[in-house]
Structure 1
Amino acid sequence: MNHPAAAIASGTGDRRNGQRRDVVAVLAITTTIGYGVLYYAFSALLAPMTRDLRISTTTATGALTTAVLVSAAMAIPVGRWLDARGGHGVMTAGSLVATVAVLAWSQIRTPAQLYAVFVAIGAASAMVLYQPAFAIIVAVTAPAKRGNALLGITLVAGFASSIFIPLTGQLIHAYGWRNALVVLAAVVALITVPLHAVGLRHTRPATPTGTHHVPRSPARVLRDAGFWLIACAFILHSAALAVMVVHLVTYLTQLGHSPTVAATLTGLLGLLSVTGRIITTVAKRLLPITLVAAGIITLQGVAIALLPFIGSTVTGAAISLILFGLGFGVASIATPAILLDRYGDEGYATIAGILGTPTTISRATAPLAAAALTAITGYRPLILGAAAACITAGLFLALTRRRDHAAQPHHAARTHPDKQASPSSRARTPEA
Structure 2
Amino acid sequence: MSGRQLPIILALGTTQTLAWASSYYLPAILADPIGRDLGVSSNWIFTAFSASLVLSALIGPRVGRRIDLVGGRSVLSMSNLVLAAGLVLLGFSTSIPVLVIAWLLLGVGMGAGLYDAAFAALGRIYGEAARRSITGITLLAGFASTVGWPLSAWGLETIGWRNTCFAWAAAHILIGLPINLLMLPAVKGARAAVAAAVKPHIPIDRTMILLAFVFAAAWTVTGAMAAHLPRLMEAAGATTTQAVLAGALMGPAQVAGRIFEASFLSRYHPLVSTRLACITHPIGAAILGLVGGGAASVFAIFYGSGNGILTIARGTLPLAIFGPENYGYRLGIIGAPARMAQAAAPLLFGLLIEAMGARVLIVSSALSLAALAALFLLGKVSPKP
Q: Under a length normalisation based on structure 1, what TM-score does the superposition of the two structures give? A: 0.83
Identical residues among aligned pairs (%):
25
- Whole-Å Cα distance in 2 between the matches of residues 204 and 168 of structure 1? 39
Q: Specify the alignment match of 1:183 in structure 2.
A: 167
Q: Specify the alignment match of 1:71 in structure 2.
A: 56
Q: Specify the alignment match of 1:351 in structure 2.
A: 330
Contact 1:18/1:141 (<8 A) preserved = no
Name the CA shift for 1:208/1:294 in 2 (closer, same or farther; >3 Å): farther
- Whole-Å Cα distance in 2 between the matches of residues 321 and 206 of structure 1? 44
Contact 2:79/2:109 (<8 A) preserved = yes
- RMSD of aligned C-alpha atoms? 2.3
- Whole-Å Cα distance in 1 between the matches of residues 147 and 286 of structure 2? 31
Taking the TM superposition and a 5 Å limit, the aligned residue runs for 1:257-276 are: 257-276=238-257
**Could you tell which deviates more after superposition, 388-397 or 278-287?**
278-287
Name the CA shift for 1:124/1:216 in 2 (closer, same or farther; >3 Å): closer
Q: Specify the alignment match of 1:362 in structure 2.
A: 341
Name the CA shift for 1:174/1:204 in 2 (closer, same or farther; >3 Å): farther
Aligned length: 381
Name the CA shift for 1:216/1:341 in 2 (closer, same or farther; >3 Å): farther
Structure 2 residue aligned with 1:381, among 335, 359, 374? 359
Q: Specify the alignment match of 2:232 in structure 1.
A: 251
Taking the TM superposition and a 5 Å limit, the aligned residue runs for 1:109-128 are: 109-128=94-113
The structure in which a higher percent of residues are helix is 2
- Whole-Å Cα distance in 1 between the matches of residues 78 and 268 of structure 2? 39
Contact 2:273/2:309 (<8 A) preserved = no
Unaligned runs of 5+ in 1: 1-16, 405-427
- Whole-Å Cα distance in 2 between the matches of residues 79 and 142 of structure 1? 14
Name the CA shift for 1:122/1:235 in 2 (closer, same or farther; >3 Å): same
Taking the TM superposition and a 5 Å limit, the aligned residue runs for 1:327-338 are: 327-338=306-317
Q: Specify the alignment match of 1:430 in structure 2.
A: 384
Structure 1 residue aligned with 2:377, among 374, 399, 411? 399
- Whole-Å Cα distance in 1 between the matches of residues 208 and 265 of structure 2? 20
Contact 2:277/2:307 (<8 A) preserved = no
Post-superposition CA distance 1:269-325 (Å, at most 9, x none): 111111111212334333321022112211222212332332322xx2222221121
Contact 1:95/1:189 (<8 A) preserved = yes
Contact 1:139/1:206 (<8 A) preserved = no
Q: Specify the alignment match of 1:143 in structure 2.
A: 128
Name the CA shift for 1:63/1:204 in 2 (closer, same or farther; >3 Å): farther
1:62 matched to 2:47? yes
Taking the TM superposition and a 5 Å limit, the aligned residue runs for 1:26-175 are: 26-141=11-126, 143-144=128-129, 146-175=130-159
- Whole-Å Cα distance in 1 between the matches of residues 303 and 186 of structure 2? 40
Name the CA shift for 1:193/1:137 in 2 (closer, same or farther; >3 Å): same
Structure 2 residue aligned with 1:294, among 258, 263, 275? 275
Q: Specify the alignment match of 2:202 in structure 1.
A: 219
Shift of 1:254: 2.6
Contact 1:243/1:367 (<8 A) preserved = yes
Unaligned runs of 5+ in 2: none
Code of the aligned partner of 1:374: I
Larger radius of gyration: 1
Shift of 1:247: 1.7
